[in-house]
Amino acid sequence: MRTCSKPSWLAIALLLAISALMSGCGGDPSASSSPTQAPSFAEGSPLKEPAQMVSHNGLLRAEIVVERRQVDLGGDKLWALTYNGSYMPPTLRIRPGDKLELAMRNTLNEVTNLHVHGLHVSPSGNADNVFLHIHPGQTFQYSFQFPATLRAGTYWYHPHPHFTSAPQVAGGLSGILIVDGLQQYLPANLRHITEHVIALKDFQVQGDAIKTKNLHIGAPTHRTVNGQLNPTIGIRPGETQLWRLANISANIYYKVRLQGQKFHVIAHDGTPVDRIWTADSLLLAAGSRFDVLVQGGPAGRTQLQTLAYKTGPAGNSFPQATLATLVSEGPSAQPATLPTSPFAPTVDLSHAPIAARRIVAFSENKAGTKFYINGKQYDPNRVDMRAKLNTVEEWTVRNDSNEEHSFHVHTNHFQLMSINGRPHQGHGLQDVANVPAKGRLVIRIDFKNYTGKTVLHCHILNHEDAGMMAVLDIVK
């Protein structure tokens, strides 16, 4: 395997650092100027699906070990933070109404915990309680009882310890969670098609390890699919596949495009859409997911890319990169006619009575080192908002900064009503929404089933850790 000599890497690193500073990254609170030796990673292996832990008879009983260990990434050994020894950990697979009994053993030398991102489940007790701390050497028994009304689609899991979420996720701690049942909305001839997890996570390198300290959002990074660098994905000409696109990185955005083809969106953030819609590209802000149908084109190779994207004058510039290569080959199939409307049942809060209206203002200091919601930095001991169970609220999420933020709320999905005053029709609910620089969103959220303390925050985890999170208490 060929490696770059150190002088040439230093020159490249210097040019990339200058480029990052010119693109609005200089204000990041975790910026670092220390160059490191660049490994030479291999690309082009066939896509590997993550291992799966699947529920049976309404129960998934699993153990997850949190461990720092060496992993193989593109042929190089790097120290990483892992679940069950893998950079791309097992996919947890459940059905609506299931119970998940999960023992988490922490072998790190720091506190951790677990958040099941996007899942409608209790935020209290031993469930999706981000205020819990699993201390070094401790094993904690989580118990999640999911409702029978849980929506089918793609979710993910990751640590959520206060003030250290970004380094733990960036170090490798993120995996996929699938709620089965999405296929029931497809026509019979598409219910057993090939599906692929397309988990997007990135890593920066420092010495012989994945970098976790002094993370700089706009620094050069390695973008992976299921922990692989530019893997190949096989498809037959005309074949229809289901892809589960998920941004499970700590901080960065992906604007995903499959050259010359369209994505047919069937679910967004774990919610089946009421009408399938198509797009040439999809913006996956930090934490977001799309379930899409893709069809194989003529025999040949097509790039799955992330396009260049800038998050505003004070934000970051993410360069274009190839994520994977789609290889269309083999016997041709007659392309299936894809459904459009109706698809899944409609959920619409447009005419719901509004119990309260709130402003949620995102801001940051001039140096970009401190981040705020409604002028306050996060304090786990302070309740910032109280909402009543079985009511609908309307929030205006206002961004007073010059960079985009990825708004996320736990426990309940929301309907995105408008962006910068223009009505928005997303054909379903979501749990992440990108807030434009100096812009605003209007959302409506229905507080159902569960009471307890939970949080809302920017899912750019560097921003969350630096204060951009608030406590929401749902009460009877």
Q: What single string gives the DSSP state of each residue in 179-246?
A: ES-GGGGS-GGGTT--EEEEEEEEE-EETTEE--SS--TTS--EEEETTBSS-EEEE-TT-EEEEEEE
CATH 2.60.40.420 for domain 354-475, yes or no, is: yes
Rounded Cα distance, 464 and 403, in Å: 14
Question: What's the distance, CA 78 to chain centroid?
Answer: 23
Residue 182 above 50 pLDDT?
A: yes
Rounded Cα distance, 346 and 272, in Å: 9
Contact (CB, 8 A) for 110 and 164: yes
Q: Which residue has the tokens 């699906």?
A: 49
Q: What tokens appear for 368 in the block?
A: 């970009």
The pLDDT value given to residue 60: 98
Q: pLDDT for 408-420, tens place per residue? A: 999 999 999 999 9
Q: pTM to 2 decimals?
A: 0.91
The pLDDT value given to residue 14: 37
The pLDDT value given to residue 341: 74
Which amino acid is present at 284?
Answer: L
* 300-323 mean pLDDT: 97
Strand-strand pairing, 263-268 and 254-258: unpaired
Q: pLDDT for 35-84, tens place per residue? A: 345 576 888 899 999 999 999 999 999 999 999 999 999 999 999 999 99
Which amino acid is present at 465?
Answer: D
Residue 328: exposed, middle, or buried by beta-carbon count in 10 A (0-12, 13-18, 19+)?
buried
Residue 166 above 90 pLDDT?
A: yes
The pLDDT value given to residue 40: 66
The pLDDT value given to residue 41: 84
Rounded Cα distance, 275 and 265, in Å: 9
First to last CA, the chain: 62
Rounded Cα distance, 386 and 171, in Å: 34
- Give Dmax over CA atoms of the chain in angstroms: 65
* 421-447 mean pLDDT: 97
The backbone torsions φ and ψ at residue 122, rounded to the nearest 5 degrees and listed phi first, read -60, 135
Same fold yes or no, 185-201+217-328 and 354-475: yes
Q: What tokens appear for 473 in the block?
A: 């208490």
Q: pLDDT for 380-390, tens place per residue? A: 999 999 999 99
* 23-28 mean pLDDT: 37
Tell me the three-class secondary structure of 28-94, residue by residue. CCCCCCCCCCCCCCCCCCECCCCCEEECECCEEEEEEEEEEEEEEECCEEEEEEEECCECCCCEEEE
Domain segments of the chain as ranges: 185-201+217-328, 354-475
Residue 20 above 80 pLDDT?
A: no
CATH architecture, domain 185-201+217-328? Sandwich (2.60)
Contact (CB, 8 A) for 271 and 429: yes
Whole-number average pLDDT of the chain? 92
Q: What tokens appear for 365 in the block?
A: 């200091």
The pLDDT value given to residue 339: 85
The pLDDT value given to residue 44: 86
- At residue 300 the predicted structure's pLDDT band, cuts being 50, 70 and 90, is very high
Q: pLDDT for 443-475, tens place per residue? A: 999 999 999 999 999 999 999 999 999 999 999
Contacts with 69 (C-beta within 8 Å, 6 or more apart), sequence order: 79, 80, 82, 85
Contact (CB, 8 A) for 204 and 252: no
The sign one gets for the Cα dihedral 404, 249, 59, 268 is: positive
The pLDDT value given to residue 38: 58
Residue 389: CA count within 13 A, CB half-sphere: 10
Give the number of other CB atoms < 10 A from CB of residue 476.
6
The pLDDT value given to residue 112: 98
Residue 3 above 90 pLDDT?
A: no
Q: Which residue has the tokens 């995102």?
A: 362
